[in-house]
Structure 1
């Protein structure tokens, strides 16, 4: 899974950078191995740099696992199913689907009908209004239009090393202005 994180305004112009951590911490329980990519789960913290309180964990479940993973109730969460047959808080989650879990949870009940892989994603609810379109995130229609132009002109975004193929063109912008949206509380 490739994940994009919207940075808060104070950090959104941070220079791009890459981190590699050969060893990532694990949280384990019978039938569960959670590899922490970002943030903290059950008192275990990833070395990955974050700019807001967030969490990302790769969850591996074995067949017939029935576990409860502790969560931070101040975060909102979602689970992305990568493989296998899983129930998240009693709800079937199929490969390729995401289940939004909201805020206020102190634990995540997981049941696996087969070996399964999930991504746990979460963090403090984002207070800023954003425009999200294609691979771009901005604060206004104008920022998205500039990002699209920069992408199409091969400026600002650089080159993806190791990708065998040409730059994928961005779709044409909609004819109506894109509106910033935020989380309604």
Structure 2
């Protein structure tokens, strides 16, 4: 199948507040009504570049997660991470922080005083049923940058262009940052069992003849052995490439929880408000985020588009 035969679905971002009363604005491309998942990737927020002196930066108080892994990746700035496992780490550009929520974890994210411009992505991975109650975990990895013809690549999850991340995941995944020189084009071999998403950060990217602007996410179905990405702008471009085999389970997502039923979500909310399931985050000066009110109608499970 030639590049021109590849159908690309373009998902546009919507602006949403993140972080409660001291919210910063992020651009969200997953989930959407038309597409809940790309592989096991179930959530994609894209933010910045924000001048912290003007916006106040990131200050997300203790909050819970279940049934997922969080993936933090920065282009500029620095974020201090603390969680109820006891992890205390810095998120820096080009370095991966991956946290496993599983049965329940809580954490905070605060941009550091040294940060002047904050810019990056926050991604979630849905855990498969057999692992969605996994123990809390935290992993850090700094992938090397690989030079390709007209491009530079960092593979933070999975395998691409001969580079493999050592970070453990519960389903096969691909996560990589790609920098393209002005007017450069690169063809990457990819797993035909994977569906893929191209999230554009800077520049204008052509994917199989479809133009993707900054904050767009281009979706490609399984069956492709290569993806050709072209920077059609006269300045460097940057994108995040996501992939994985179609996730064969329906999920219920609400607030910071990924579950399978409405009842599980309601139990998780109650546990956050009244119990100790999620543990305590030490070292943050402030109260935990209260959970929002649940809708009166039952939450419905959603899966990938067939």
- Please indicate the TM-score interval, normalised by the length of the shorter structure: 0.7 to 0.9
Structure number with greater CO (CA < 8 Å, separation at least 6) is 2
So what's the TM-score if we normalise by structure 1?
0.87
Q: Which structure features the higher share of strand residues?
A: 2
Distance 1:168 1:95, change over 3 A: farther
Check conservation: 1:66, 1:110, Cα contact below 8 A: yes
So what's the TM-score if we normalise by structure 2?
0.55
Question: Structure 1: 5+ residue runs without aligned partners?
Answer: none
Distance 1:82 1:157, change over 3 A: farther
Measure, in 1, the Cα distance between the counterparts of 2:229 and 2:275.
44
Structure 1 residue 146 corresponds to structure 2 residue 251 = no
Q: 1:20-99 to 2 correspondence within 5 Å? A: 20-22=140-142, 24-99=143-218
Aligned length: 184
Cα deviations across residues 136-185 of structure 1 (Å, max 9, x unaligned)? 11010011112222334474334567767543333322221111122354
CA RMSD of aligned residues (A): 2.2
Check conservation: 2:206, 2:212, Cα contact below 8 A: yes
How far the C-alpha of 1:16 sits from its partner, in A, is: 1.5
Distance 1:108 1:28, change over 3 A: farther
2:221 pairs with one of 102, 117, 125: 102
Measure, in 2, the Cα distance between the counterparts of 1:100 and 1:150.
36
2:238 pairs with one of 104, 110, 117: 117
